[in-house]
Structure 1
Amino acid sequence: MVAENYDVDEKSPHDQAVVKQLKQQLQKVFGYSSFREGQLDVMMSALHGRDSLVLMPTGAGKSLCYQLPAISSDGLTVVISPLLSLMQDQVEAMLAMGIPAATLHSGLSSEASMQTLQQLQQQQIKILYVSPERALQPSFIERLQGYSLSFIAIDEAHCISQWGHDFRPEYGQLGQLRQYLPNVPFMALTATADAATQHDILERLQLHNPHCHRSSFDRPNIRYVVQEKYKPLKQVKDYVKKQKGAAGIIYCGSRKKTEEIAESLQQSGIKAAPYHARLEHQLKESTLRQFLRDDIDVVVATIAFGMGINKPNIRYVVHFDIPRSIESYYQETGRAGRDGLPAEAVMLFDPRDAQWIQRMIDEQDNEHRRLVEKQKFSAMQAMAEAQTCRRLVLLNYFNEFTDKECGNCDLCLDPPKRFDALEDAQKALSCVYRVGQQFGIGHIVEVLRGSKNQRVLDLKHDQLSTYGIGKDETHEYWFSVLRQLIHRGFIVQDIRRFAALQLTEAARAVLRGEVTIELAKPRINLTATRNSITDRGDYNKILFRRLRKLRKDIADRDSVPPFVVFSDASLVEMCIEYPTSSADMLTITGVGQVKLERYGADFIAAIQAFLNGASERQLFNG
């Protein structure tokens, strides 16, 4: 797929006039001074009535690709989206910018639905958000046939594909709309799609000679970190406490874990809540609303949470358990830092988790899905175990080949240090042998460190020759050594016997001292995340906190999420440029004419008050 570059000089006078209008609307309504790479190409394709397939990472401006041409054209634009909450958030954001938008879904009252239908009939709505189920209803399709449609945008289009990581049958049926709306252009958008998924989207939606745009998958503002999973609950609590109230998501592999971790965080004074499919609908909606409005800092969730979540100021995503595919990992980590400011993606990794997932995949009845999932999980596991730049592994998976290290992942910031590990390997392997190759990694570490654990004493393992021979090193150290020996093939874990460690034939040479062996120094501490993510960046932190509070007060007053007022990126720019007039404020990214009229005076007054009362030290060392 090759992205086209739109050259205005080579276009007709009509096209040049359209581009000029788009640029004016971009500044006036959205507050942006220029297009991002690929956006104008996609917009012009839609306005020319051409189908499009758009691959852009989260935060690269996918939504603008359909929102701006929608308000610049005469007809109605229909956006098909998978989540009701996402649609409602998008509508709120549109209305805050003065764009007539609405949504139709099952959660609306009959009165609200009737009002929206009347507005549609009177051509008072420019953008209508609907679910795939609603879009496929015969009665709704009949209504669409009576409207003047500009185009149909299908967000999260990877859900259409059987090769995608989040295949949804109802999404796969959207191609049926072609039969009833043959002359309406379609725009399919997604942040995650490999070659097979892209091909499937094109076929299932029956896209005709589409304009295909593929942006870089790189999200340079996100720092990728993998930490060995040792005491995961403590690791997560310590990490979240460092973030000073920044917004974050913690993903877990089970519903039970989400509730346990959320409760533990709450007991530590952290504003957190669980989110999973079995919770009551009202509770889930309440949690989402509180998170979007900055009343909750952390959501601990299964993958049921977050697809396309419209919250740009999420500063970190933690994976408590390894995801099943790089696509899932990429999409979930992509929910952090959508505003372009520094963000982190932290994953806790334990090889036993990988074995458990592999077993779950093997139990699938559908052989085709089983093979697809095994292949995808194998790539995910390889990334978690990588000893080279994480971003290189990620980008190469999506066929964006590069050999330049990123400088913003744990392996680039703190390259693995290797050491002569023969003696430690012999201690560990010998201990596995002495306990009869019948116990898991935790018990082996207890014996090596000379633990007085009652189970160790009951089994008389305190009388073994290997008891206490590793007492000079920490639990974490020995966990790391044993895991690396597993990775190197000297030990296997028998999942049929509670992950008991067993020696392989290769271990003999190590025990006899016939080979040399090097291991990586254990990566126990999150060296890449010593400070809060919010500490990064050269802007006035004191003023930022004041503007953030002002934004929250205004958002609560207007009953909208804070980012609907201004994004964190806009606030940061204010804390660098110190705008004190309307003209100055309009130069800030994300400040358009409507938002200036609604909120500009309050923020200008706050900045002026700060400047009048700030010392030189506050200005330059905030």
Structure 2
Amino acid sequence: MTVSKENLHVALDRYFGFDKFKGNQEAIIKSVLNGNDTFVIMPTGGGKSLCYQLPALMLDGTALIISPLIALMKNQVDSIRGYSQDDEVAHFLNSSLTKAQMKQVKQDIMDGKTKLLFIAPETLTKEENIEFFKQVNISFVAVDEAHCISEWGHDFRPEYRRIRSMLDAIGEDIPVIALTATATPKVQSDIVKNLNMDDHNTFVSSFNRENLYYEVRPKGKKEQTIKQIIQIIKTIPNQSGIIYVQSRKSAEEIAQMLVVNDIKAAPYHAGLDAKTRSQTQDGFLMEDIDVIVATIAFGMGIDKPDVRFVIHYDIPKSIENYYQETGRAGRDGLEGRCIAFYAYKDILKLEKFLRDKPVAEREMGAQLMQEVMAYAETTACRRRFLLHYFGEDFNDEDCGKMCDNCRHPKEKVEVKDEMKLALETILDLDENYGIKTLIDFVTGNETKQIKDFRFNKRPLFGKGKGKDDTFWSSVFRQGILEDLVYKDIETYGLLKMTDKGHEFIKHPHSFMIPINHDFEAELAESNDAPVRTAVLDENLMGMLKDLRRKEAKRRDVPPFVIFQDPSLEDMATQYPITLDDMIQVQGVSKGKAKRYGRPFIELIANYVEENEIIRPTEFVVKQVANKSKVKVNIIQGIDRKMPLEDLAGSNSLSMEELLEELYAIVNSGTKVNIDYYIDENVDEYSREDILDYFREAKTDSVEEAYAELNEDDITREEIEIMRIKFLSDYAN
């Protein structure tokens, strides 16, 4: 059936209310309407679903849409029904339906009311369903998320490899349209071969998402990374975003930290029950939740156009995963930020999961992770790297500074001689090895493999040992980007020469490249750099000390009971002017802030106003209350009046360590009552002497107290015990 261009535009307006097609949509739809097998590669947000929805509505019969996710099916069915007056126009058939509902769906198909039927491949395999479809007029079959067919795809599903045989069982000559948002050349050939699409039309849209900004940051300690994430989110408040993590525990922890810092967030992972997951998903769509912290299961069934940022707290397992997940940002065409945190130790963690897999799967997984490492560490244009991975040419200049490497370019170095050596190395090892072995060879690293194959006896071995692994990795990677060599995916990433590479060896020319990031070194460097803090305001410090003295007299307690010096120094640096600010000051608990903070807050607020002081803008990340197990055990043990020696033993602490923990507990504002222990273990006269000392003392130093009191046969331990009582009774 051939359809005129005019008919197509009329149909587009009638069914969907659009006045024009995007990109290749029109040509793709014509191919389907003409009964041709059609292969569509179109990035997320490019309008893939219209390519099968419109022809399904226009053709006689029912189109089968094979889809991997039940959640995705429901959303798409709801979406199509939204454009139509009849709910029967679209159905899904999967395990979530009752027998009665399944019967009704099949009746609507037999009655010719249903134009699109969404079905999982697992449901299609059932004999009764294949028998049913033999009796039905099937207009065509759409295989959505077709990358699931390939073991090299990012979401391989074995059932997808059986689709062709199931279609053959239903009937001959049913046209097929296969659609995917991410497919490397290898995955593309797998899909075509498996679906037996010999004579087909292929439509490849550009993988370039111009509105997405790509950035990779070194991943340090958990607290530092979460602080950075909170800072990123606070710069674009009340916007939708997704944070991807590998573990359920991380999803829970990070979501909790965001909530504590006034960000509407929720975790999403397979450990939650279906109802909670559904509520979280709906909350995100309805904007009751701004940020979802998710394991990779989240997002495939979500069509939310205004996701402004996608953050990878953990680096993904493959470039396809990364591209698919970042593709959920900015579907409305406005800017989306894609920030990934990278640490080599995360790659090692992922490699551990591969250890028990079959050899082929292990090789494949390792190869995919090598690509992720290369992407993270490259200093070249990230957009060019991604597009090259998917077989698309791209010029750095066209990035428009929409990646961190183009926005902050690294200085380039001349590597003409080194590039020639790298290419000669590939030939010397018979084009039979991947980057890792080539780097070991050129740098003279005598690994077991190098020794076993006697590569260390070859003339080029160690010729490049004056440069490190990062340098040589940069050279080989740039060789790939410039098509001097190519990576043979079929053989798990062995490097092979191109004609252009052979030509370079004969006639070398200037070759300037930026050297890759060494994130481990960069992170160590930033950690070693002196920490820049705001400068202590000596004038304010003097005023705070005066106020502390007055407050101490008024309350008849020593000054240190109110706030210790480090706390005052922090106040004279951060200028806290609210109760919330005060709680962030070092050594000030909520209870202490409420009890003593008000006059200090008022003094600082007046001082800031009178002196027109610009307060430090860097906010302090609020921490989730850290009631460690040991602290809780100690407090509960004291409530049960356990002897302190037994309490120390049961928590694997020495008595000295237990008293340190107790001092920290009372110092942060928590009351404890150890009178039961004191009555048994501290002489009555010693008790009074020690309390009298602390009532007059300038500091709560145990050393100073011991120097003053030890002539009276008072022990250091007794002083520590009574200091805990004093601070608990007077400071809290």
Q: State the TM-score bracket (shorter-chain normalisation).
A: 0.5 to 0.7
1:562-577 residue pairs with structure 2 within 5 A? Answer: none
Give identity over the alignment, percent.
41
Match of 1:20 in 2: 6
Aligned length: 420
Say which of 203, 206, 211 aligns to 2:193.
203
Match of 1:414 in 2: 408
The 3 A distance-change label for structure 1 pair 274 and 68 is same
Shift of 1:257: 0.5
Equivalent-residue separation in structure 2 for 1:279 and 1:148 (angstroms): 41
The yes-or-no answer on 1:53 pairing with 2:39 is yes
Say which of 199, 203, 207 aligns to 1:213.
203
1:393-404 residue pairs with structure 2 within 5 A? Answer: 393-404=385-396
Match of 1:277 in 2: 270
Shift of 1:36: 2.1
Shift of 1:308: 4.8
- Where does the alignment leave 5 or more consecutive residues of structure 2 unmatched? 414-466, 473-514, 527-732
Equivalent-residue separation in structure 2 for 1:340 and 1:315 (angstroms): 10
The 3 A distance-change label for structure 1 pair 295 and 519 is closer
Out of 338-347 and 48-57, give the one that drifted further.
Answer: 338-347
Match of 2:333 in 1: 340
Shift of 1:326: 0.7
Match of 2:374 in 1: 382
The 3 A distance-change label for structure 1 pair 391 and 339 is same
Match of 2:106 in 1: 117
1:368-517 residue pairs with structure 2 within 5 A? Answer: 368-405=360-397, 406-407=399-400, 408-416=402-410, 487=470
Shift of 1:85: 0.9
The yes-or-no answer on 1:103 pairing with 2:103 is no
Aligned residues of 1:246 and 1:315 also touching (Cα < 8 A) = yes
Out of 54-63 and 309-318, give the one that drifted further.
Answer: 309-318
Shift of 1:485: 9.2
RMSD (Å), alpha carbons:
2.7
The yes-or-no answer on 1:194 pairing with 2:184 is yes
Out of 282-291 and 219-228, give the one that drifted further.
Answer: 282-291
Shift of 1:487: 4.6
Say which of 167, 172, 191 aligns to 2:161.
172
Aligned residues of 1:70 and 1:127 also touching (Cα < 8 A) = yes
Equivalent-residue separation in structure 2 for 1:317 and 1:292 (angstroms): 15
Shift of 1:486: 8.7
Shift of 1:357: 2.4
TM-score of the pair, normalised by structure 1 = 0.64
Shift of 1:137: 1.4
Equivalent-residue separation in structure 2 for 1:36 and 1:215 (angstroms): 10
Equivalent-residue separation in structure 1 for 2:517 and 2:292 (angstroms): 36
Q: 3-state DSSP class of the match of 1:218?
A: coil
1:21-420 residue pairs with structure 2 within 5 A? Answer: 21-98=7-84, 100-180=89-169, 181-230=171-220, 231-361=224-354, 363-405=355-397, 406-407=399-400, 408-416=402-410
Equivalent-residue separation in structure 1 for 2:316 and 2:247 (angstroms): 12
Shift of 1:156: 0.5
Q: 3-state DSSP class of the match of 1:62?
A: coil
TM-score of the pair, normalised by structure 2 = 0.54
Aligned residues of 1:418 and 1:519 also touching (Cα < 8 A) = no
Shift of 1:384: 0.6
Aligned residues of 1:86 and 1:310 also touching (Cα < 8 A) = no
Equivalent-residue separation in structure 2 for 1:115 and 1:178 (angstroms): 23
Shift of 1:404: 2.7
- Where does the alignment leave 5 or more consecutive residues of structure 1 unmatched? 1-13, 420-483, 490-516, 525-622
Q: Which has the higher contact order (CA 8 A, sep 6+)?
A: 1
The 3 A distance-change label for structure 1 pair 417 and 31 is farther
Equivalent-residue separation in structure 1 for 2:210 and 2:133 (angstroms): 41
Shift of 1:92: 1.3
Shift of 1:403: 2.7
Q: 3-state DSSP class of the match of 1:173?
A: helix
Q: Which amino acid aligns with 2:388?
A: N
Equivalent-residue separation in structure 2 for 1:274 and 1:148 (angstroms): 44
The 3 A distance-change label for structure 1 pair 519 and 87 is closer
Q: Which amino acid aligns with 2:96?
A: G
Shift of 1:167: 0.8
Aligned residues of 1:418 and 1:518 also touching (Cα < 8 A) = no
Equivalent-residue separation in structure 1 for 2:144 and 2:265 (angstroms): 29
Map Cα deviations across residues 142-193 of structure 1 (whole Å, 9 max, x no partner): 2211111111101100001122121111122112223222221111100111
Equivalent-residue separation in structure 2 for 1:398 and 1:342 (angstroms): 22
Map Cα deviations across residues 224-279 of structure 1 (whole Å, 9 max, x no partner): 11122231111112222222222111110111101111111122222221112222
Aligned residues of 2:144 and 2:180 also touching (Cα < 8 A) = yes
Equivalent-residue separation in structure 2 for 1:78 and 1:311 (angstroms): 25
Equivalent-residue separation in structure 2 for 1:369 and 1:389 (angstroms): 30
Equivalent-residue separation in structure 1 for 2:130 and 2:284 (angstroms): 35
Q: Which amino acid aligns with 1:392?
A: R
Equivalent-residue separation in structure 2 for 1:114 and 1:311 (angstroms): 33
Equivalent-residue separation in structure 2 for 1:488 and 1:256 (angstroms): 37
Shift of 1:84: 0.9
Shift of 1:519: 8.7
Equivalent-residue separation in structure 2 for 1:168 and 1:146 (angstroms): 28
Q: Which amino acid aligns with 1:262?
A: A
Q: 3-state DSSP class of the match of 1:346?
A: strand
Q: Which amino acid aligns with 1:414?
A: H
Shift of 1:21: 1.5
Q: 3-state DSSP class of the match of 2:64?
A: strand
Q: Which amino acid aligns with 1:223?
A: Y
The 3 A distance-change label for structure 1 pair 68 and 518 is closer
